[in-house]
Amino acid sequence: MSTQGLLAPEIIKKKRDGGELSNDEIRFMIDGFVRGTVPDYQMSAWLMAVLFQGMNDVETWTLTDLMMRSGRVLDFSHLGVAVDKHSTGGVGDKTSLILAPIAAAAGVPVPMIAGRGLGHTGGTIDKLESIPGFSCEISIAEFEKQVASLGLALIGQTGEICPADKRIYALRDVTATVESLPLICASIMSKKMAEGIQGLVLDVKWGSGAFMKTKERAEELARRLCQIGRAGGKDVVALVTDMNQPLGRFIGNSLEIEECLGILRREPVRGRALSEFHDCEELSVILAGVMIWLGKKAATARDGVAQAREILESGAAARKFEELVKTQGGRIEALPKAVVTGEVLAKEAGFVSSIETEQVGYAALVMGAGRRAASEKIEPMAGIECLVRLGDSVEKGQPLYRLYGPTPDYRVGHEDAIERLTRATRIESAARDKSLQSRESNALIAMGIGVEL
């Protein structure tokens, strides 16, 4: 194969006009971007062309394979059947921090390379880094050693694993090209296949807080991800789950760690009973159960879910999470405690009929819980507590959300966040059928694998 004679502007123009790119043309853009011969502005233009024109299955697989092979490809097969999970992103989505220790406690090797916040969605690495001392920047050698000894390691993207994706991921976040289906597929699967796993569970979100706004589009993404996984020789299962309201009650990095600790330790969180976090707990258990099954530690997916529940209730998952934090330098007892900085009140009485969940995510972002530019720093204690759910009855003046920060007078993005949250939460005078408003059952899509939950 040769990329000699190719020019970035011609490749950009070809995709802009709807042409199918060859392997060499995609290689020229990806390899050139990693080496620095294709600058950010040309890659940004190419990403926008892909966003508008898309890629077919062959182009998408080529892009994924090239991104995967831009760095090291690991192998954990000597430890058993290594399995990981990936979510396409949502608001308050913290399940990785619950399911990974559950699966590892079941004996499944879990080498997890996670990402930072992207757009309005939070990032697992940002959450973990709110724990004082926790390092996601361990070497690949340490990563491999920790998976072998602890059964679990959780790190951020490194220059050694998928360097192409690391750079493209950051660029997509600030160039409005996040939503492209082939770019999403290539980003997810290149990292996961480079991790050295044999099985992968995908949580593909749909709804107002997801990148995929309709269930049909989420199902299309799930199918394409599973197809890529099969092409790479992996066992892949996709769950399509609802993101029409935040998952759990807290949004923001240290706040979400508190919520995960409560679920893992079977304790209330800031005065809230465990039952109020049922949606987050249940989804985490289901995903962990499928991981246990793919990891050959359960005969069926249903058995895996039952085993995951037992592990959570026994405290074994909490102990595994605490081991993970300690091993990677974290001091969980020193987790900073956010304080209330304000509230968002209902302007009228009625019933919560819809929540524009993406705007809830952006409200947390403008407060400092996320980034508007790659160079911005995160405030670990900035965040939001959701006090109502879809279908709830509210009175005029009743608090709908609480805002949090490092001090009571923290006001970064305060007014903007209040406006966004007020606008995002629709209250109607007449009650709708609450069953239609509550979180839908998780619809399982399995490609190439027979599974029943």
Reference 355, options 239, 220, 251; nearest CA is 251
DSSP 8-class letter at 332 = G
User: Of 44, 96, 180, 187, which residue is the catalytic one?
Assistant: 187
Rounded CA separation 154/112 (Å): 5
Q: Is 165 in the active site?
A: yes
Q: Is 86 in the active site?
A: yes
User: Of 27, 167, 172, 192, which residue is the catalytic one?
Assistant: 172
Rounded CA separation 358/119 (Å): 9
User: Of 86, 127, 167, 320, which residue is the catalytic one?
Assistant: 86
Reference 402, options 421, 426, 380; nearest CA is 421
Tokens coding 352:
């919560």
User: Of 93, 165, 173, 203, which residue is the catalytic one?
Assistant: 165
Is residue 5 within 8 A of residue 25, CB to CB? The reply is no
Q: 268: number of CA atoms within 13 Å, CB side?
A: 4
Rounded CA separation 181/225 (Å): 10
User: Of 27, 127, 166, 191, which residue is the catalytic one?
Assistant: 191
User: 329-360 burial, b if ≥16 CB within 10 A, otherwise e?
Assistant: ebebeebbebeebbebebeeebbbbbbbbbbb
Question: Exposure of 303 by Cβ count < 10 A (0-12 exposed, 13-18 middle, 19+ buried)?
Answer: middle
Catalytic residues: 86, 165, 172, 187, 191
